[in-house]
Amino acid sequence: MRRVVTGHDEHGRSVVVSDGPVPRSREFTSLPGWVSRVPWATEPGERIDPTGEDPTAKLTSLLPAPGGTRFVVLTFPPDSAMADPAFDPVAFDLEQRADSPGIADLMEPDGMHTTPTVDYGIVLRGEIVLELDDGRRTRLSAGDVVIQNGTRHGWRNLSGQPVTMAFVLVGAEREG
């Protein structure tokens, strides 16, 4: 995946300040086909940096505080990969915690989770199922979008192909 970042030169004109691969990217060894990329992030109240300096290296949590954002692109292998006898859920959990601090802490054993965020999800490639609390499942295909309003949910790749989704997480205050 290529990431192009713009900024401003010393005269205030817009320029490309970096063009290359997403620096914060991981292909998991514990679950081949699972790929996590974090192209960008902002903190609450952060001003636009004219240099386009990469903020992802200093992230301590992929869970944004209220008003902060995270741009995450995930590739999910088929769920059947987790049924493979070679799959080690403990190793996967450790890798998730290293790659996705904050969010990984909220994951339940079945992949369901709830975050204090509004998430804009876009299916870029493939087909995936969104599962909610009540067990209801909604199939999403390439080009579909989902607005995840801080509800408990899980992602299920029931197809035989990888699925890639882009998410923008916006930190929000939970009601009540």
Confirm if 140 and 163 have CB atoms less than 8 A apart. no
Tokens representing 46 are 């952060």
Confirm if 121 and 166 have CB atoms less than 8 A apart. yes
Q: List, for residues 133-166, the tens digit of each pLDDT value.
A: 989 999 999 999 999 999 999 999 999 999 999 9
Q: List, for residues 8-26, the tens digit of each pLDDT value.
A: 999 999 999 999 999 999 9
pTM of the shown model: 0.93
Residues pairing with 6 in the sheet: 16
Residue type, 134: D
pLDDT at 176: 63
Residues pairing with 20 in the sheet: 3
Helix (H, G, I), strand (E, B) or coil at 144: coil
SS3 content of the chain, % helix, strand, coil (to 5): 10, 40, 45
Residue 109 in this model has a pLDDT that exceeds 70: yes
Output phi, psi for 157, to 5 deg.
Answer: -100, 90
